[in-house]
Chains A and B, each alone.
Chain A
Amino acid sequence: DGGITQSPKYLFRKEGQNVTLSCEQNLNHDAMYWYRQDPGQGLRLIYYSQIVNDFQKGDIAEGYSVSREKKESFPLTVTSAQKNPTAFYLCASSIQRASMNTEAFFGQGTRLTVV
């Protein structure tokens, strides 16, 4: 089945630690995204990538890092510089077409809690 997979579903992090959230897709999509969602809030864009080996900062990139070494993978690292990392993290992918907006497919999310 084609889709987008995030792991783990739940993640606990001690203060001061870096953690990496996994996102894999087998939809052959060029574009991938990371969003953060806080309780009762909308989605805020952290990073996005339109092609392998290239990515751009979103609206709240501070304290996060990403890589895009393979088309199907877009891992997100939450660093110790992120002061309030407890949130629900969503990964998405979409077809990249010039001048054409296409629907995004989302994973099931990773809930990160700092303990």
Chain B
Amino acid sequence: SQKIEQNSEALNIQEGKTATLTCNYTNYSPAYLQWYRQDPGRGPVFLLLIRENEKEKRKERLKVTFDTTLKQSLFHITASQPADSATYLCALDTTGGGNKLTFGTGTQLKVEL
């Protein structure tokens, strides 16, 4: 079956360390992959979009990689801060060019002092 999988267990890291979150997908060939942040009780907020011909994309302390051979995207937060604590979701279009945006299950990140 078609799936978008993220680490289901919460990730706890110390402040200042790099957090790495994983998004794996099967049976899709997406042209793009997106990452969102969601705080409790609120709607997700867009962070980054990476295209299939881009190996890596950066925005301030955020870095996303996209390996279409492995069917995997990695999301890194460097110099993590307690304010980075949230759930992070990956999403991709599952129609190959349309706008059917399908989300992964999300990974909860907690950055501790």
Contact = CB atoms under 8 A, between A and B. Distances in A.
Interface in B58-93: 89, 91-93
A94 to B, nearest CB: 6
Given A101-B34, A101-B93, A103-B49, A94 B101 contact: yes
B43 A108 contact: yes
A102 B45 CA distance: 13
B101 A42 contact: no
B89 A109 contact: no
A34 to B, nearest CB: 12
B13 interface: no
Given A42-B106, A101-B49, A109 B43 contact: yes
Which interface class (under 10, 10 to 19, 20 to 34, 35 or more) fits B?
20 to 34
A78 interface: no
B31 A43 contact: no
B46 A109 contact: no
B99 A48 contact: yes
A70 B91 CA distance: 27
A56 B93 CA distance: 14
Contacts of B44: 43, 90, 104, 106
Interface string A3-38: 000000000000000000000000000010101000
Interface in B23-60: 30-32, 34, 36, 41-46, 49
Nearest to B93: A101
Contacts of A50: 98-99
Contact of A45 (B30, B42, B101, B105): B101
B103 A103 contact: no
A96 interface: yes
20 contacts: A35-B103, A43-B103, A45-B100, A45-B102, A56-B100, A94-B99, A94-B101, A99-B31, A101-B31, A101-B49, A101-B92, A101-B93, A101-B99, A102-B49, A102-B99, A103-B46, A104-B36, A104-B44, A104-B46, A107-B43
